[in-house]
Each structure stands twice: as C-alpha cells, then as structure tokens.
Amino acid sequence: MKKVAVLASGRGSNFQALIDAIERGEIPASCTGLITDNPGAFAITRAQKAGIPVHILDFACFSGKDDYEDALCSTMRGVDADLFVLAGYMRILGHSIVREFHGRILNIHPALLPSFPGLHAQRQSLLYGVRVSGCTVHLVDEGMDTGPIIVQACVPVLDGDDEEILSERILEEEHRCLPLAVRLFCEDRIVVEGRRVHIVRGGPSA
C-alpha cells in the first residue's frame, strides 16, 4: 500500500476523484494528507469529510517565497508520502523541492502538453483555435509543465465553446486520468526512460 498526499489550492474536484477512487478500492493507497496554500480552499472541506489530515500553509503569512517553500518542504517531509499529487495546486514548486522528491510528484494539467503550459490553458487553447484539447498527467520536473507524460486524454473543441464549457468537458477526463495515473504509480508500473514513460504490466520486475 502506497501513501499519497495531495497539494491543492482551490475547489479540489480532482482531489475528490482521487478520494473516491481510493475509497472504491481502485488504487492500492491511502491518502495521508492534504497540503494547501489557501485557507479558503474547498479542498479542505473535502479532506475533513474524508478524515484526511489537512496542512494549511497560508502563503500570506510568510515573509516570501523562500520562507514559504521551506515550510512546504518540511510539511512534505512530515506527511510521510510515497507520492505527492498536485491537483489544482496553483504555485510553481521550487527547484529544491522538485529535486528532493524527484520522480514522486505528479501534476494534472488541463491541456495536451506540450501545448499550452502554464496558467489558463483552456483559454489559451480557445484563443489559438485548436480543434482538440484534453488533459495531461505528468511527472514534475524543474520546468513549467514539462515533465515526462504518464496519461493523456483528448476532448473535442466545439463551435460555440467558451472557457467554462471547454473546462467542464476537460475536467471530466481529468477525473478519469488522474486516478488512473496514481493507480499506475501505486502499482509500481511506471518506468521512466528519458522523456518517455513506459507502463509495465505488473511491477517493474515482473
């Protein structure tokens, strides 16, 4: 059984999808904590309902990014997790955290990377005029949404879509892809070779 901790800044619907998949027994893991930078995040209510310990690091209470990152790093060490999932965590992780937890941090992004990294990916997709969008779950490296890709799914972009409608369509796929990627990680089925991720059938030794 692996231990999974989640970092989220807001609504937490992806966090909820993970909680539900774990509760249904689809992921061989337990959720050991929610870490948030936002004391108003609805993700906190979701964690409390599920009995998951919450760690609130209110960014506004720190003297700056370094101070905040130090506290975040100690909190991440303290929650004792094999895997950290960024599920709508709206800050960029500092390089030292990424290095310390290398290969153990996943992120979900609402576009087909490497297109449209960064903020407002759905808006960027609409402005560009792509016909297909989707979501990407990837390992986190030191770049902005650049780590090796584990799972992607596509959705069409339809005439008349606005940011909200497209985001909603993508979100449905996010709620399927994130638990899937976490399950693959927890089953030790992810093997990274350079930029490519191979999904093996059993554990890597099987």
Nearest-angstrom CA–CA distance, 94 and 65: 9
Checking 56-63 for CB contacts under 8 A at 24+ apart, the result is 59/91
Specify the residue, 94 or 117, whose C-beta has the smaller distance to ligand GRF: 117
The gap from C-alpha 101 to its chain's centroid, in whole angstroms, comes to: 14
d(CA 184, CA 61): 37
Nearest approach, Cβ of residue 204 and ligand GRF (Å): 28
The distance of closest approach from Cβ of residue 88 to ligand GRF in the complex, given in angstroms and rounded to an integer, is 3
Which C-beta is closer to ligand GRF: that of 143 or that of 204?
143
The one-letter amino acid code at 142 reads E
- Select 78 or 148, whichever has its Cβ closest to ligand GRF: 148
Residue ranges that bind ligand GRF, judged by CB under 6 A = 8, 10-15, 87-88, 108-110, 171, 174
**Residue with tokens 């909200």, as numbered in its chain:** 164
Please say if 109 is a catalytic residue. Answer: yes
CB of 188 to ligand GRF, least distance (A): 25
In the DSSP assignment, the letter for residue 166 is H
Active site residues: 109
